[in-house]
Chains A and B, each alone.
Chain A
Amino acid sequence: MSFFIKLIETTDSERRALENLPKVHAMINHGLTLEEYQTFLHDMYHIVWNFCPIMASAASRCSDDFRQVRYRLYESIESEKGHEAWVFDDLLAVGGDAEKAKATLPSLPVQSMIAFNYNAVERVHPCSVIGMLYTLEVVSSVYGGRVATAISRAIGIPGPRGFTFLDSHASMDLDHMAKLTELVKTIEAPAAQQAIINATRVNFWLFGQVFSQPVFNQPATARAA
């Protein structure tokens, strides 16, 4: 059995737990309010801003035994760098204070997610980064497809301005997922496998916690007001 199957099996309950959060259901099917979307983009800005440094940190720590991971990370850094500007522009387009969002700390779950991923690649195993990549690919490729449309409809802003980041990640994922799967299947060292499994579990869980913030859980009447 390939490590990809093991990864799918051992992290399936965390994926399904994220899938089954009522707020995630609501976002996928009915979008978000403007305030929720602005909060979401604020968090996404900091995730994306730290994405490349985390990958760089992991790449610098990969031994030659994991050179395929290192090379894949170089490619990912090249393709992902600058995407925080998309989020910044989206935030501006939907009336958010992008400069303030840039200068303000993200939510506690996102601070935890960023801190966890730096620590995991620097202190546990550099291959932990694959758990972060896998989680974000699954979220965008499996669940992200219609989110931009649902949010656009819900807040009455037609797009594409304001939705560049979500739209681009929902459409570019087909090859991403297949390439990532190929990379996962090359990992044979038990310590690296365990680090990837743990990082995947933690990232799925923390991503779900983003939606536990009060702004995402106001009663419908408060949201309408």
Chain B
Amino acid sequence: MNLSEMLNLEMPKKSSYGQRNTQFDLEFEPDTGTIWAWFNPTGTPCFSLGLLNDIRAHDNMLETNKGCVPQSGQLHKANYYVVGSNIPRVFNLGGDLALFILLIKSREREALAHYAKLCIDNIYPRIRNYGCPTMTTISLVQGDALGGGFETALSSDVIVAEESAQLGLPEILFNLFPGMGAYSLLARRIGMRAAEDLITSGRILPASKLYEMGVVDVLAKDGEGESTVRSWIAKNQKRRNGFQAVFQARQHIHPITREELDRITDVWVDAALRLEDRDLKMMGRIVRSQMRRMDNFAAKTPQAALAVAG
């Protein structure tokens, strides 16, 4: 019996909204005012330009509507914005490494900076709760969150992760670092020393370990991530205002500014352009291991096979 069943919660109705045929599936649950957004990338589950643009298009709309979701001809206020993944056992594997190889070999500073800016254009509004102080953001991590995937998980107010999920920042393996917010967001949760340790070690840790470290807020049993989010929302419904104020206070105590994130991406671009052939070969090995991993998933689950086929 999961937590929802124990609390005798009825599953609220969700309905799709937003544009069709994108890589970012959207549902809205009017009863609780919850947006459920699911990464649904074609191919390797990383932050491709297509996925980044689809997220940005939705989030722009959300900001323009001041945190409200259009449905059935009306605007509904969103209290929660949950982001998860439709790909089994993967939240997101981070940056599009094949694209990085292409841009680094092209020695294309402007294009690398453009990619980095697109990432920050997505992460920074989430850190700021899309300009809506009464909206709580939640990351639902039901599979591996690596590199930019981990950064995205960190950008929410609350991280709910299933026990078997693995999270980490492997960029150091190819002599780079995670430049789209990881340092700032981790330092805010666990301090600079521990943040640097995670970044420079490249260690991939289970969600349970990160829960002990204070990175993950809520640990869910495998397969119960979504019901755990629902339970968390239900449990804290009466104290929502207080929680949201705490999350706002967090931003005042450890503010993360757009300028800070932009400067770090400049460092990232410089570092990327200094990578040598052996580093790019290692990056290529990781691209291939991601491909193998998706092949293994595709062989095991029809859903993943469809995702791989795009």
CB atoms of B43 and A19 under 8 A apart = yes
Instruction: List residues of chain A with CB within 8 A of the CB of B114.
Output: 1, 5
Contact of A12 with B288 at beta-carbon distance under 8 Å, contacts A22-B308, A141-B105, A178-B106 already known: no
* Chain A, residue nearest B289 (CB): A29
The count of residues in chain B whose C-beta lies closer than 8 Å to any C-beta of chain A is 32
Residues of B within 8 A of A25 (CB): 291-292, 294-295
Any chain A CB within 8 A of the CB of B42?
Answer: yes
Main secondary structure of the interface of B (DSSP, over half): helix
Cβ of B310 within 8 Å of any chain A Cβ, yes or no, is yes
* CB-defined A-B contacts under 8 Å, sample of 26: A1-B114, A2-B110, A4-B108, A5-B110, A5-B111, A8-B103, A8-B111, A12-B50, A12-B99, A15-B98, A16-B42, A16-B43, A16-B98, A17-B43, A19-B44, A20-B44, A20-B309, A22-B295, A22-B298, A22-B308, A141-B101, A141-B105, A145-B281, A146-B284, A146-B285, A178-B107
A-B contacts counted at CB < 8 A amount to 89
Q: Is B102 an interface position by the 8 A CB rule?
A: yes
Interface status of B10 (Cβ within 8 A of chain A): no
Chain A residues near B259: list those with CB within 8 A.
Answer: none
Q: Which positions in B face A, CB cutoff 8 Å?
A: 42-44, 48-50, 96, 98-99, 101-103, 105-108, 110-111, 114, 277, 281, 284-285, 288, 291-292, 294-295, 298, 308-310
Shortest B160–chain A CB gap in Å is 29
Interface residue count on the A side (C-beta < 8 Å): 30
Within A1-59, the residues touching B (CB, 8 Å) are 1-2, 4-5, 8-9, 12-13, 15-17, 19-20, 22, 25-26, 28-29
Interchain CB contact under 8 A, B99 and A17: no
Residues of B within 8 A of A194 (CB): none
Q: Which residues of B contact A180 (CB under 8 A)?
A: 106
Measured CB to CB, the closest approach of chain B to A3, in angstroms, equals 11
Closest to A178 in B: B107
A4-B108, A20-B309, A29-B288 as given contacts; A142 in contact with B102, CB under 8 Å:
yes
Q: In whole Å, how far is A8's beta carbon from the nearest beta carbon of chain B?
A: 6
Q: In the complex the two chains form, is A4's CB within 8 Å of B44's CB?
A: no
**Least CB separation from A171: chain B residue:** B277
Q: How far is the CA of A22 from the CA of B308 in the complex (A)?
A: 8
CA distance A28 to B295 in the complex (A): 12
CB pair B310 A16 closer than 8 Å? yes
A129-166 residues at the B interface, CB under 8 angstroms: 138, 141-143, 145-146
